[in-house]
Amino acid sequence: MSQAFYRKWRPRLWDQVVGQEHVVHTLQNAIRGGKVGHAYLFAGPRGTGKTTTARLLAKAVNCLADELSERPCDACEHCTAVNEGRFLDLIEIDAASNTSVDDMRDLRDKINFSPTQGRYKVYIIDEVHMLSTAAFNALLKTLEEPPAHAIFILATTEVHKIPATVLSRCQRHEFRRIPVKDIVQLLKQISAEEHLQVEEDALVLIARQSTGAMRDAISLLDQLASTGEKITLETAQNVLGTATNQSVVDLVSAMLARQADKGLDCIHQALDSGTDPRQFARQVVEYLRSLLLVRMGNADQVDATAEMRALMAAQAAQFDVAALLQAIKAFNSAANEGRSGWQPSLMLELALTETLNPPAVPLAAAPAAMPAAQPAPKTVPEAAPASTPARRSSTESPVPEPPAESAWQATPAAVEAPQDQPGASAPPASTAGEVTLQTINQNWAKICAVAKGRRPQTVGLLNSVKNFTIKDGVLVLGFATEVVRSKMDGENLEVTRQAVQQVLGVSMRIASVVASGKAKTLPDDLGVDADGMVGTALNLGGKIVDKD
């Protein structure tokens, strides 16, 4: 069986370590000057070269080459023994499975014996943050007075978990994520030597997917190479489950066109095809960030294929910078939402909603050439507050305000013809098909107020609605229990229907169901603003779960 690429390609000499020059230079200088420390801490993300560098240091201090500057030589007996994992004075301890005090005491006892083969006994303690407090204390004693022949190299991905007492005794080196360009370069070299047929775009994709971890990048290449076929961008996308680039681009197109339904489709399609929601959110953020760079004139900082660049340039030109920032923020928070498991698509839906429904930011940039006096084009969403009455609380004002659809799509008719008289006949313009949940959500307080004016009992029921959905043009109200739901009978439904018609100018059928889950969460209970994030989430079908 052939050796895994990442083992085969583990750097054996200092200059083969990629992207960690700051660490390598310091260590090389120490070797050259014969001034090697007794305790090192290598901190940084996984797969960036910590163990590799620790072994290089172990090799260098024990190398038999005459010139200090040539250590490690990678050819002498000791270097070869380290490479082959049979050098007796290199002791690698995985702290994840040796966390006990006894393990550390054992280490402390053995450390006093002189090296068997080389000059130094080198202890590499990997994942050192996993040690228990007692084990750390035992280790600390050793670090306080290490024998002259001992060198400790502690490695960790979570430096914040290391006690200050240990940190203060170590020379600390920070490993960085490796830039995409550097990863691509090494992957190219490996591909050439392994005689792989690879498209450069595929390597770029692999490099991006590995988020700075060289091991991940090499492993992905290995995985793709195992098919024995040419590695194209397409096969890479399929294998990596990231054939979503197109969905990201489509989503952004939908945003620019202000087509919420299309945008939601893109999200659902991506998730249905197995993309992880957070991963998808990250891709959207990364793409939007690239658009921002392009927009700011820094296109050269964007790593992308020529084809992609052209597309980005076109989309970036259409975006308003403030709107772009808003979108990045919204999707970034979706990417950082750790507990999305209970409603995988929700955070993405929210991010899209937020993006299309910003406080007062037009999404599409107004064409620069447009004279200031000219009215805004229809596609620019209604953002000027002038034409919309100031927000009033529903108790002060049962008078319906125009529907707030304008934030999603420009619907000038609705804005120009608000219905301000209770009881007046509904504007005929709209049909139920046009009403979105968003519209219902934004106008819910008004609908309740109108219902209250007609029949006070009804509003009590409407206040206990847990969530709503629209199904085939029917507004479906969800209630916590059957007891409450059963009260939403014919007359109450009719009053609600009339209230919706009066506020939105749309005649919709209303139905009631028992909402699933232990939805004990009425927005009002929580003081949740029905128009805000959580309110929208609830109305999109989200449930508030107990955090443990």
Ligand X SMILES: Nc1ncnc2c1ncn2[C@@H]1O[C@H](COP(=O)(O)OP(=O)(O)OP(=O)(O)O)[C@@H](O)[C@H]1O
191, interface contact from Mg ion, Zn ion, ligand X, none, CB < 5-8 Å by kind: none
173 is a site residue for ligand X (CB under 6 A): no
Q: Which is nearer to Mg ion, 20 or 340 (CB)?
A: 20
From the list 104, 110, 181, 183, the residue with the least C-alpha distance to 140 is: 104
Residue 49 interacting with ligand X (CB under 6 A): yes
Which of Mg ion, ligand X, Zn ion, none lies near 18, with the C-beta cut-off 5 to 8 A by kind?
ligand X
Closest distance of CB 118 from ligand X, Å: 21
Rounded least distance, CB 154 to ligand X, Å: 12
Binding-site partner at residue 63 among Zn ion, Mg ion, ligand X, none, CB < 5 to 8 Å by type: Zn ion
Burial (0-12, 13-18, 19+ Cβ within 10 Å), 367: exposed
Beta strand 39-43 with 474-479: parallel, antiparallel or unpaired? unpaired
CB of 39 to ligand X, least distance (A): 18
Query: Omega into 367 within 30° of 0, i.e. cis?
Result: no
Q: What span, in angstroms and rounded, lies between the C-alpha atoms of 165 and 62?
A: 29
Position 491, amino acid: E
* Contact partner, 76, from ligand X, Zn ion, Mg ion, none, Cβ < 5-8 Å per class: Zn ion
Please choose, out of 49-57, 269-277, 440-448, 500-508, the segment that lies near ligand X by the rule CB under 6 A: 49-57
Would you call 508 helix, strand, or coil by DSSP? coil
Q: How far apart are CA 271 and CA 276, in angstroms?
A: 7
CA separation for the pair 27, 41 (Å, rounded)? 12
Q: Give me the 205-224 binding string for ligand X, x by CB under 6 A, dash otherwise.
A: ---------xx--x------
Provide φ and ψ at 363, rounded to 5°: -80, -50
Query: Which of 28, 52, 242, 443 forms a contact with ligand X (CB under 6 A)?
Result: 52
Tokens standing for residue 150: 């001992």
Reference 112, options 166, 152, 153, 148; nearest CA is 148
Q: Which stretch binds ligand X (CB under 6 A): 45-53, 302-310, 405-413, 462-470?
A: 45-53
Q: Is 20 in the site for ligand X (CB under 6 A)?
A: yes
CA pair distance 309, 303, nearest whole angstrom: 9
Q: Which does 495 bind (CB under 5 to 8 A by kind): ligand X, Zn ion, Mg ion, none?
A: none
Instruction: Identify which of residues 208 and 446 has a Cβ nearer to ligand X in the complex.
Output: 208
Nearest-angstrom CA–CA distance, 511 and 489: 9
Residues that bind ligand X (CB under 6 A): 6-7, 9-11, 17-20, 46-52, 126, 155, 157, 178, 214-215, 218
Residues in the site for Zn ion, rule: CB under 5 A? 63, 65, 72-73, 76, 79
